[in-house]
Amino acid sequence: MQTSDTTPLYQQIAEAIREDILYRKMRPGDQLPTIREMAARWNCTPGTVHRAYRELNRQGLVESHSGRGTSVIQSIHPPAPTPLRQAQLVHRAESFLLEVLTAGYSPEEVESAIQLALERWRVLSHKPAPARGIKLRFIGSHDPALSIIAPSFIEFSSDYHLEIQYAGSLGGLLALANGEADIAGCHLWDHATDSYNAPFVERLLPGKRIALVTLAHRELGLITQPGNPLDIHTLKDLLHPGLRFANRQEGAGTRIWLDHQLELHQIKRDAIAGYDRIHATHAELARAIAEDQVDVGLGVKAAASSYHLGFVPLARERYDLVVPENIFATAGGSLQAWLKSDGVAKTFHMLSGYNMDETGQVHWVG
């Protein structure tokens, strides 16, 4: 969390609690510290804490009960949409827009920030955006562009919508094998064949005919602080004393690629400070670097660009949508048309680090 020296203390307290709720450090129903305890923790008056709690209550994140203190709200039940409610939301959005434009941000920066915030919220809350049509369950590796474009799939197939859940490349393929997903997303590099995805699909989904629909080729590399002040250029530089590294979870394609490379270069994992510090998505890893929690991590260029960070390219990888034959027979044409649309291309170009030469192409396995 980053706050300005001019931010009122009650807002700093409220923001700290909001982040704890967002990161699930505090769960629905959890009790907040008493006002007296929080005042001692922040070295402030009880009135300042009371104002912070009142602000969180106004935002619908906590609820207070006489004699029982304040707790995280159990669940949020949004009211039915109405023209007045939508008009109020637009008014609040315009107020926010005026504030940030006045502060010097461009409309493009604001749009990108909102998309990142929505992506982060969906990943952390596991609550996909409401959609119509038959649900296609997507489980797989995180991709910044896919998070942004997924809601638009319904425009190309009125019968289907994508429900996105990120569980890593291997997690996606295992979900397909167990019947828990309809589509997986992966970018698994096989060092024995120096190829992507097909060898893993053959091993984990034997005897099945599977379409690999290419999302895009992505630049993978080291995400650094702006300007790369620590002069990090290779994986061996991760051994520098005092350097803070951030990693991805086991089963993520990025983690698998890294582990193979460390083995090839005879770099011991336990010699890298922060090897066990885990972030579930490229966006979360990039944000940790932007907030100076860590110095470097392995991720895609799109995530680095979104936060205006440094980037040292190391490889180009292919990200495929893994689609069983029966799903492709009904939704495959819509998937291809969607991936080749102008709107999808615009998103890829906006984020940078993507190559769309093979986007929408199909390779069959099995």
pLDDT tens column, 239-250: 999 999 999 988
Residue percentage of the chain with pLDDT more than 70: 88
Are 258 and 298 a contacting pair, CB within 8 Å?
Answer: yes
The stretch 37-45 carries a mean pLDDT of: 93
Are 152 and 343 a contacting pair, CB within 8 Å?
Answer: yes
Quote the pLDDT of residue 77.
53
Quote the pLDDT of residue 59.
76
> CA nearest 21: which of 49, 50, 63, 51?
63
Whole-number Å distance between alpha carbons of 165 and 172: 9
What digits encode the pLDDT tens for the residues 314-343? Answer: 999 999 999 999 999 999 999 999 999 998
Please name the residues in contact with 316: beta carbons below 8 A apart, sequence gap of 6 or more. 217, 218, 219, 220, 355
Please indicate whether residue 180 or residue 366 has the higher confidence score (pLDDT): 180
What digits encode the pLDDT tens for the residues 74-87? Answer: 765 555 555 566 66
Residue percentage of the chain with pLDDT more than 90: 55
- Asked if residue 196 has pLDDT above 60, the reply is yes
The tokens describing 343, both together, are 């709107």
3-class secondary-structure state, position 312: strand
Please name the residues in contact with 254: beta carbons below 8 A apart, sequence gap of 6 or more. 141, 187, 220, 248, 282, 298, 299, 300
Whole-number Å distance between alpha carbons of 153 and 137: 13
Bin 138: left if φ > 0, else alpha if -120 < ψ < 50, else beta: beta
Quote the pLDDT of residue 122.
60
Quote the pLDDT of residue 239.
96
- Asked if residue 203 has pLDDT above 80, the reply is yes
Quote the pLDDT of residue 117.
74
What digits encode the pLDDT tens for the residues 88-121? Answer: 666 677 778 888 888 888 887 787 777 777 766 6
Quote the pLDDT of residue 206.
93
Report CA torsion sign: 265, 271, 274, 279. Answer: positive
Whole-number Å distance between alpha carbons of 283 and 144: 7
Q: H or E segment at 135?
A: strand 134-140
Bin 107: left if φ > 0, else alpha if -120 < ψ < 50, else beta: alpha
Whole-number Å distance between alpha carbons of 239 and 48: 45
Domains of the chain, first to last: 9-72 (1.10.10.10), 86-123 (no CATH)
- Asked if residue 58 has pLDDT above 90, the reply is no
Please indicate whether residue 271 or residue 102 has the higher confidence score (pLDDT): 271
Quote the pLDDT of residue 195.
93
CA atoms within 13 A on the CB side of 285: 35
Cα-based torsion angle of the residue sequence 288, 291, 295, 297 in order, rounded to the nearest 10 degrees:
20
